Amino acid sequence: MGNEQVRESAGARVTIAAERQARSLSQEEYKKTFCDIHPALDSKLAAVESSRCYFCYDAPCMEACPTTINIPEFIRRISTGNRKGAGIEILEANILGGTCARVCPVEVLCEQACVRNKAEDSPVKIGLLQRYATDYIFENKIQPFTRAAASGKTVAIVGAGPAGLSCAHQLSKLGHDVEIFEAKPKAGGLNEYGIAAYKMLENFAQREVDFLLGIGGIKIHNGKGLGTGVTLPELRKSYDAVFLATGLAGVNALQLVGEQLPGVINAVDYISTLRQTKNYSDLKIGKKVVVIGGGNTAIDIAIQSKSLGAEDVTLVYRRSASDMSATSYEQELAQTHGVTLRYWSKPVAINGDEKGVQSVVFEKTLKNVKGELEGTGEKFTLYADMVFKAVGQVLVPALLGEGAELLKISKGKIEVNAQKETSVAGVYAGGDCIAHKEDLTVVAVQDGKLAALAIHEKLTGRKLGLTGGKING
């Protein structure tokens, strides 16, 4: 892990011998295993939970939110019965607040910062309250946003994921016309293709996209992206500004013999296939599954493997539990779903034959006196009929097509300045394709919002600011 060998993600191609497959579950069993991991609050529970908020003036929870949602204010509105107002307050700062309420690692963001987060108490359930408020907007088909007078300017956005959609919505509110070029058949990015099915139920990602597009002034061209229908030089020539929200098209390889065996699969590909399937019984899953990795994707695929009927699932990570990018909550969630977690171990060989993978050999690791990871020489074998690789995604400049060589790439990401502008004048970027401490949906949303403000200033000469995460000026 940590190597730079990559390949383009092209969907999971699962080949596994029938005798090695886990049995298909009944529809009732699938409903139980793919149920809502955090059931929504009802009005009574929301009233009780909102009453626990201290409505801090200098709220640490608000500071911990990458989109700076005015958390005390929206909770105050819930406490007074103004559910609609609470939802609007959230969406003005984070247009994908519905998704973020479901997938944000609140345990290390707003809820960790909550002043009630003490040993003798527990934090306010901010994530669930946010979902309670935003769901009201979607359920009642409320469209609270309108466009400013037409500016006559047009902006091209590449990628209809969280960053691209956020940027598009802000630009449309400011009166600019936006065209999004999205290589996949559906908009939504990772919200549609990459988030675990138990976190995003009932086609919520597409409902949120439809709501966002309801403002008008945004057109999406599906099946087109950089290198697949459009080029950066063409976009620069045809539009007043360009925003790149391409995500990460490449996945890391283990660089091990046996990696190409049937049954060794990229986790992101399988999750994408799972998210688009209409019948879980059509998906093949092994009886004994090994997951290699330490991030949220590794946790997601491990839990979903169990949900699909795998009898034994083991997630193996090369470092300690505290080194994993998946939070301690996510790790505990995996364990409660029956996943075995093993730390301080790295894969060194994958064994099998033409019928598929049979086992993975691991070497135990440790941190030396210099703090570097090294093998101990002690090895062990895990038998498996399916192996998921979840060792990270990377930017592949070659896949960006003609003109991409003009972009400055640093440490595998597109380099941008404080205004999210790249090394190419008039071309901005945000989301997972630029460097962050953490690649989170909420961070991508903020990237899109900040880029929209910078683009607006460049096109009109008018500088706008943010107060409580909302545009002012």
Q: Give one DSSP letter per residue of 138-186, joined into a string.
A: HHTT-----PPSP-S-EEEEE--SHHHHHHHHHHHHTT-EEEEEESSSS
- pLDDT higher than threshold 50 for residue 1: no
- pLDDT higher than threshold 60 for residue 8: no
- β-strand partners of 144: none
Return the CATH number of 154-249+394-472, one of 3.40.50.280, 3.10.450.50, 3.30.70.600, 3.50.50.60: 3.50.50.60
Question: Residue 392: how many CB atoms within 10 A of its CB?
Answer: 22
| pLDDT bucket at 249, cuts 50 / 70 / 90 | confident
Which of these, 100, 300, 330, 89, lies nearest to 205 by C-alpha position?
A: 100
The pTM of the full predicted model, rounded to 2 decimals, is 0.94
**Residues 196, 204 contacting (CB under 8 angstroms):** no
Strand order across the 6-8 sheet: 6-8, 250-252, 393-394
Output the CA torsion 367→370→375→376 (10° steps): -70
Mean pLDDT confidence for 342-355: 96
**Residues 262, 284 contacting (CB under 8 angstroms):** no
Half-sphere exposure of 68 (CA within 13 A, CB side): 13
Mean pLDDT confidence for 38-51: 96
CATH number for the domain running over 43-139 = 1.10.1060.10
Which of these, 462, 459, 463, 464, lies nearest to 239 by C-alpha position?
A: 459
Tens digits of residue pLDDT in 375-428: 999 999 999 999 999 999 999 888 888 888 999 999 889 999 999 999 999 999
- pLDDT higher than threshold 90 for residue 14: no
| pLDDT bucket at 2, cuts 50 / 70 / 90 | very low
Mean pLDDT confidence for 169-179: 98
Residue ranges per structural domain of the chain: 15-33+255-390, 43-139, 154-249+394-472
- pLDDT higher than threshold 80 for residue 6: no
Output the CA torsion 301→305→306→307 (10° steps): 90
* Alpha helices (runs of H) in 222-354, residue ranges in sequence order: 232-238, 267-276, 296-307, 328-336
Mean pLDDT confidence for 202-206: 92
| pLDDT bucket at 473, cuts 50 / 70 / 90 | low
The type of residue at 426 is G
Identify the helix (H) or strand (E) that includes residue 250.
strand 250-252
The whole-number pLDDT of residue 332 equals 96
User: Which SS3 state, helix, strand or coil, does residue 46 take?
Assistant: helix
Output the CA torsion 357→358→363→364 (10° steps): 110
Strand order across the 373-383 sheet: 345-353, 356-367, 373-383
Share of the chain above pLDDT 90, in %: 83
Question: Out of 19-28, 127-136, 444-453, which region has the weakest mean confidence (pLDDT)?
Answer: 19-28
Query: C-alpha angle 110/113/115, rounded to 5°?
Result: 120
- pLDDT higher than threshold 90 for residue 35: no
Angstrom distance (rounded) from CA 465 to CA 23: 56
What would the two tokens of residue 382 be? 């895990």
First vs last Cα of the chain: how many Å apart? 47
Residues 6+ apart with CB under 8 A from 292: 1, 254, 298, 315, 316, 347, 360, 387, 388, 389, 390, 391
Q: Which fold has domain 15-33+255-390?
A: FAD/NAD(P)-binding domain (3.50.50)
Question: Out of 17-26, 226-235, 300-309, 343-352, which region has the weakest mean confidence (pLDDT)?
Answer: 17-26
The whole-number pLDDT of residue 7 equals 52
Query: Is 203 buried (19+), middle (13-18) or exposed (0-12) by CB count in 10 A?
Result: exposed
User: Which SS3 state, helix, strand or coil, does residue 331 take?
Assistant: helix
Residues 6+ apart with CB under 8 A from 282: none
Question: Residue 470: how many CB atoms within 10 A of its CB?
Answer: 17
**Residues 407, 422 contacting (CB under 8 angstroms):** yes
Q: Which residues of 339-369 are buried (b: 16+ CB within 10 A; e: fewer)?
A: bebebbbbbebbebeeebbbbbebbbbeeee
| pLDDT bucket at 152, cuts 50 / 70 / 90 | very high
Angstrom distance (rounded) from CA 15 to CA 262: 5
The whole-number pLDDT of residue 22 equals 83
- pLDDT higher than threshold 70 for residue 141: yes
Output the CA torsion 154→157→163→166 (10° steps): 30
Angstrom distance (rounded) from CA 394 to CA 249: 7
**Residues 333, 365 contacting (CB under 8 angstroms):** no
Angstrom distance (rounded) from CA 328 to CA 332: 6
The whole-number pLDDT of residue 401 equals 87
Q: Mean of the per-residue pLDDT values for the chain? A: 94
Q: Which residue has the tokens 């229908």?
A: 229
Identify the helix (H) or strand (E) that includes residue 450.
helix 441-460
Mean pLDDT confidence for 70-98: 98
Cα 121 from chain centroid (whole Å): 30
The domains spanning 43-139 and 154-249+394-472 adopt the same CATH topology: no
The whole-number pLDDT of residue 404 equals 87
